[in-house]
Structure 1
């Protein structure tokens, strides 16, 4: 049983509220192969901390691999996002019970901009915490302390939901109530978590 009913919930995005559109990996591998894809992922990591623009990082990877495709064509795969509308309905239900909800996600600047411009999160959340804006990414403890400073609630009154065990363990180490979500369980799995904490 939880120590207390949370006063706020931090929701991860990918694997909890949204997923990449089918076929994104195959499209990127088709551009440059598996090594190219891994190089992209490695180049993205500093961008998640706001240390570099993702477009510049992608351009450098393309140059290293001698690929003529534009950075924009590659980045388009990061913009193909499918939102779980049933999960968003749960966010609304939690907020309807007077509990604040915040998006807490690792994203680089390009995908952050896509999510802000094309996805409806501003209508469903009390705030959005993107790692590239905070200058630190999960599972670093400083990510969670930065969010807690903004939320202004005691750490034990904040619930964190994520599909990464590393992130969940890091949140617990800081003192948050934290639960691992299985993406395969979808909205029904989220509902079970929320019922456990008396949030719906």
Structure 2
């Protein structure tokens, strides 16, 4: 039996990267400090307890601005997929390992990512569907239950030390990815974790 059955990949900072200036664009729509208000209010959407559109409307009301929420939500599409990182994912899959996405996202971003990643992963795990966000251990416990494999057979790649620590505490073999190391760094990390490509 292989030491590794599947590899979980985080999205932001690992497989995709936000475009420079999108947070500033949110402030430009709602005024200075609006982005901070939005990020303070989006946790229910990240856990699937509310729609992101409703959280954005509530943030606008709190900040005292009028905006078209649907126009503002387009800002969440401002990210680029790292094609070199995706080539590593494809290589892992061709080697016979399961490949799965494990990411904190609200409903709008989830729907967009599902379209962009169609056919890439065996499964996609989104916090808004799991009802818990990284670094909560419940996020990882839910994935372990759904995969029905021992936690020790799961390798996880994330760019957040807190998320890596939480996954490790659940028995997952978690590794911290430095985004500046790029796809080459991720490949070396996976090989060091025993993932043979």
For the residue of structure 1 that corresponds to 2:119, the secondary structure is helix
Runs of 4+ in 1 over 6 A off after TM superposition: none
Paired residues for 1:47-196 under 5 Å: 47-117=45-115, 119=116, 121-196=117-192
Preserved contact between residue 5 and residue 197 of structure 1 (Cα < 8 Å): no
TM-score by length of 1: 0.93
1:82-105 per-position Cα deviation (integer Å, ceiling 9, x unaligned): 000111111111111111010000
SS in 1 for 2:102: strand
Structure 2: segments with no counterpart, 5+ residues = none
CA distance in 2 between counterparts of 1:5 and 1:195 reads 13
Shift of 1:164: 0.6
**In structure 2, C-alpha distance between the alignment counterparts of 1:193 and 1:33, rounded to whole Å:** 41
Query: How many residues are treated as equivalent by the alignment?
Result: 195
The alignment's C-alpha RMSD in Å is: 1.2
Hey, what's the Cα distance between the residues in 1 that align with 2:124 and 2:74? 22
| TM-score, normalization by structure 2 | 0.95
Match of 1:11 in 2: 9
Q: Which runs of 5+ in 1 are unaligned?
A: none
Q: Deviations over 1:16-73 (max 9, x none)?
A: 0001122201211222344211110011111110011000010111122222221112
Deviation at 1:5, TM superposition (A): 3.4
